[in-house]
A and B are shown apart, each in its own frame.
Chain A
Amino acid sequence: MAQTVVVGDEHAHGEQGLHEPKSFLTRYIWSQDHKVIAIQYSITAIAVGLIALVLSWLMRMQIGFPSSLAFIDQDRYLQFVTMHGMIMVIYLLTALFLGGFGNYLIPLMIGARDMVFPYVNMLSYWTYLLSVLVLVASFFVPGGPTGAGWTLYPPQAILPGTPGQEWGIILMLVSLVIFVAAFTMGGLNYVTTVLQARTRGMTMMRLPLTVWSIFTSTILGLLAFPALFVSGVMMLLDRVLTTSFFMPTVVSMGQQLDHAGGSPLLFQHLFWFFGHPEVYIVALPAFGVVSDLISTHARKNIFGYRMMVWAILAIGVLSFIVWAHHMYVSGMNPYFGFFFATTTLIIAVPTAIKVYNWVLTLWEGDIHLTVPMLFALAFILTFVAGGMSGLFLGNVVVDVPLSDTYFVVAHFHMVMGVAPVLAVFGGMYHWYPKVTGRLLNDTLGKIHFWVTFLGTYAIYFPMHYLGFVGMPRRYYDLSGISAIPHSAQTLNAFITVVALVVGAAQALFLLNLVWSAFRGKPAGSNPWRATTLEWQTPETPPGHGNWGPRQPIVYRWAYDYSVPGAPEDFLPQNHPPERSGVSGAGADVRHGGH
């Protein structure tokens, strides 16, 4: 057996030496421990997400009850729209899934002691915090934050007349460029850790789907964020040095500007080459988390594990060749639409495979309706509803009339807003006991779940109808537009009321997070009786270095649930075959690496 040990058991920190925290400051503030960095990422992302939540309230107030809040004028409204979108997509969801979940779960789930380069990992968080601070600073500069819409389309994004044209847009672009740097530092770590720092026995095909999905979405990020970086740099130059990358000849306010000859379409191509993979950067981790939650709480092995892995990879590859379906009305060559509609519809195939496999995992399962499971089930329902409307929008002829209406707003909020957020909640209820050692309160959790799930349906489902009647998005005031029936206003008021309630219900969740950290029921090391390695740590919460003296050895895949003859109906991944009886070893042969 000795010859199998390539670099020794302590390979995982053999190259660098594990950095031992010596004081409060290095343990909790300038920490290089992936678990602390994950918590820092999560808290920052949630904090900035709360800003975006409040902004959505204010927007809804204006739409539902026009001019009831005097301080919301047209410019403010557009600024709220922009900042809400940008924060939710990038600074909340991307950071929370990859910086938060990815940082916490990758090393624990693959049996490593930390990320491969903990110092770079720490740097990633502080750079991310800097980008958040620059972003938030734009609320306080003259002219306020940019109101260009989260897509920041030029030429309007940098022209006079768009709110935040003076400073807001500059800070937004600088913040994005910094964010890309932060993400790259973290992302390189996640990918290298998964590829090169797994523990003994942990083959790629034994990775839990959470790791597979975060791994793939990080690769997407490393290849897609460059396009955002480049377009950000170029627009900054357009704005600050009056270059004309994206700026055609423009007459603005009666004057011809200094710009000439640039290509606004180029920005859209760059932006969506980033923007579409970005959808999957936040959706794939949700897929992975939900797969693991469903399997654990239905006490069944995931249906079609290999198919799930290949579906994740196929979605990842396809996500790079569908970007122009966001641009059917942009004036690009109409023949492009045919190609991009085709690829867009093809991407529905691996996605549907995943949904069927989730359902088949539930089939005849021993379903425990715990709070994480409720969120996982809600994710499937919301994601399917949102994905279906994606089939409408992926077709050029259907998309053209629906473009820039509330149908689009409904679609992307369900599919990449609410659905990933539900997976985030499910994941938090699921892994909180590992992070803190205590369970979240069940009653508060169930109230939170039902209000959030039913509420978001009540918010976004009616928006499809608003889109059909032609209600345009990003309009500050719809009164006096005769094409929109009066009933639309009633519906808008209803949506606003629900949105206020759902937003307020999130306070329950925050309260639960804080209260349970001190008063919650002690969870023990494995409250959900889960198989994956993070639940098998010697300490809960896991100590520095995660595994005590010896790293775990993996003998089986991550989904040995309801194993006949197993003492507790499941077999952890590090459970050696000879102690588990015949069925355990059999399970290993059936589902293991081959």
Chain B
Amino acid sequence: MAQQDMLGTAEGVALTGEPGGTADGWQGMVTDWSADRQAFREVPWGKAMMWIFLLSDTFIFGCFLTSYMTVRISTTVPWPNPSEVFALTIGGAHIPLILIAIMTFILISSSGTMAMAVNFAYRRDRVRTTTLMLTTAALGASFVGMQAFEWTKLIVDEGVRPWGNPFGAAQFGSTFFMITGFHGGHVTVGVIYLSIVALKVLRGDYERTGNYQIVEIAGLYWHFVDLVWVFIFAFFYLW
């Protein structure tokens, strides 16, 4: 088209924004950001939106954890020892942090199955994708189940309440229930989200377009929830 040469920057930028003939590293980023249409080349809307949401959610968890650290410092009563509070007696043996270790292991493993599901989704292996996603969801559900067990034990057997507990500072219970509850809510939502996507994959809903990016987007959310748990685990149980 004769017009093309006249278009100047508009088309020139669009051309350099093409996959293939692009620079890498910083130059690539500059090229992408000065392109038209998309700042993140080839990133679908849903994925961009999920990343931005996760950034926002990071600030929520960041505020929660910062607040937890602040009240832990500000309270005048000694903080309960997490190794003691979160210990289980199994077969006569008193093992500190055993339940939480299992829960962490399960959640981290579920990130592995999720990553495999994404891999098979892009190969359009629907059965394996669904299986792995449902496995991920099941691992997540068992995490929430164990969390429910932990809560029950703390509330019923040991008398921990949001407003007080027999071990020390009242803020221990308040921050614990608030932060693990908020995280558990995220896991529960993730389990439902993954299950729905898994069933839609199995039903072949994405075959028409062949676009399986939804699996990766769901995976982003799931990995984020796992990552947040690592911080909660470190700050709450190991400190």
Contacts and interface: CB of A to CB of B under 8 A. Distances in A.
Contacts of A554: 10, 36
A233 B45 contact: no
Nearest to A11: B37
Interface stretch (B63-71, B102-110, B114-122, B194-202): B63-71
A243 B48 contact: no
Nearest to B35: A203
A3 B18 contact: yes
B60 A230 contact: yes
Interface in B146-169: 162-163, 169
Contact of B34 (A204, A258, A270, A585): A204
Contact of A585 (B6, B14, B49): B6
Interface in A557-592: 576-578, 585, 588-589, 592
B7 A117 contact: no
B40 to A, nearest CB: 7
A187 B56 CA distance: 10
Interface residues on A, range: 35 or more
A4 B63 contact: no
Nearest to B169: A261
B49 A117 contact: yes
Interface residues on B, range: 35 or more
B174 A196 contact: no
Contacts of B45: 15, 116-117, 192, 196-197
Contact of A592 (B8, B44, B63): B8
Interface in A259-303: 260-263, 266, 269-270, 273
Contacts of B9: 203, 588-589, 592-594
A1 B15 CA distance: 9
B60 A226 contact: yes
Contacts of A192: 45, 48-49, 52
A222 B55 contact: yes
Interface string B80-93: 00000000000000
Nearest to A577: B6
Contacts of B14: 4, 6, 200-201
A244 B8 contact: no
B55 A201 contact: no
A192 B188 CA distance: 26
Interface string A11-54: 10001000000000000000000000000000000000000000
A452 interface: no
B42 to A, nearest CB: 8
A575 to B, nearest CB: 12
B33 interface: yes
Contacts of A397: none
B205 interface: no
Contacts of B173: 243
Contacts of A576: 3, 6-7
B13 A261 contact: no
A116 B56 CA distance: 18
B38 interface: yes
Given A203-B36, A229-B60, A261-B76, A234 B43 contact: no
Contacts of B63: 226-227, 229-231, 270, 273
Contacts of A199: 36-37
Given A4-B11, A585-B6, 20 more contacts: A187-B56, A195-B39, A201-B36, A203-B10, A203-B36, A222-B55, A226-B63, A233-B182, A243-B162, A243-B163, A244-B75, A245-B71, A258-B163, A263-B74, A554-B10, A576-B3, A577-B6, A578-B6, A588-B8, A593-B13
Interface of A: 1, 3-4, 6, 11, 15, 116-117, 184, 187-189, 191-192, 195-206, 222-227, 229-231, 233-234, 237, 241-245, 258, 260-263, 266, 269-270, 273, 553-555, 576-578, 585, 588-589, 592-594
Closest 3 CB pairs of A and B: A201-B10, A261-B75, A226-B59
25 contacts: A4-B14, A6-B14, A15-B45, A116-B45, A188-B56, A191-B52, A196-B48, A198-B36, A200-B10, A200-B14, A200-B37, A201-B10, A222-B59, A243-B162, A243-B173, A244-B75, A244-B163, A245-B174, A260-B76, A260-B77, A261-B170, A554-B10, A589-B8, A592-B9, A593-B9
